[in-house]
Amino acid sequence: MPSSILPLVAKQLLTDIEKSYKERSQLPDDLLIALRSVFGSCALQALDLVDQRSVTCVSSPSGRRVFRVLGGSGQLYTCFTSCHYCPCPAFSMLVLKRNTSLLCKHILAACLCQAMGLSQQEQVSDQDMTRILSGQAHTDL
């Protein structure tokens, strides 16, 4: 996890998940329980997104990388796991305004997919990446 602002316990948990998933290709119950106690209800929703393969890791030749997460409503969100930002309403409400959550289900799903190596991979040109980052390509990619 590069330059993370997540609390140490959350980071450690993702590291444990990565290790455990590599060894056994599944998540043991204790990690699932830990995930739930750290991230609350958004943990289960994030795991659903992972199950549905809703996360795509988009990378460009220059090494930029973002995650695109298909939300339950069919909306595509561009998430940055490096700075933990997501443009969804839940993120601005629960994370930025009320400060009651660490992150939204989309970012958590992206972090989990990254840890477990389950995200779909997509290569785009640097030009397309710039369009994605500037928010001009929400639907046409």
Please say which residue, 4 or 20, places its beta carbon nearer to Zn ion: 4
Q: Examine residue 46 and tell whether it contacts Zn ion (CB under 5 A).
A: no
Which of the stretches 8-16, 36-44, 91-99, 131-139 binds Zn ion when contact is defined by CB under 5 A?
91-99
- Retrieve residue 63's tokens: 């090494």
Please give the backbone phi and psi of residue 133, each rounded to the nearest 5 degrees, phi first: -65, -30
**Distinct helix (H) and strand (E) counts, the chain:** 6, 4
Q: Pick from 35, 91, 94, 110: which binds Zn ion (CB under 5 A)?
A: 91
> How big is the site for Zn ion, counted in residues (CB under 5 A)?
5
- List, in order, residues 6 or more apart from 8 with CB less than 8 Å away: none
CB of 48 to Zn ion, least distance (A): 14
- Retrieve residue 97's tokens: 């305004």
How far apart are alpha carbons 104 and 115 in whole angstroms? 17
Our CA angle for 69, 70, 74, nearest 5°, is 155
Q: Examine residue 104 and tell whether it contacts Zn ion (CB under 5 A).
A: yes
User: Is residue 36 a contact partner of residue 48, using CB atoms and an 8 Å limit?
Assistant: no
Please say which residue, 76 or 118, places its beta carbon nearer to Zn ion: 76
Q: Pick from 21, 106, 108, 132: which binds Zn ion (CB under 5 A)?
A: 106
Which of the stretches 5-13, 25-33, 90-98, 126-134 binds Zn ion when contact is defined by CB under 5 A?
90-98
CB of 58 to Zn ion, least distance (A): 16
Interface residues with Zn ion (CB under 5 A) are 86, 88, 91, 104, 106
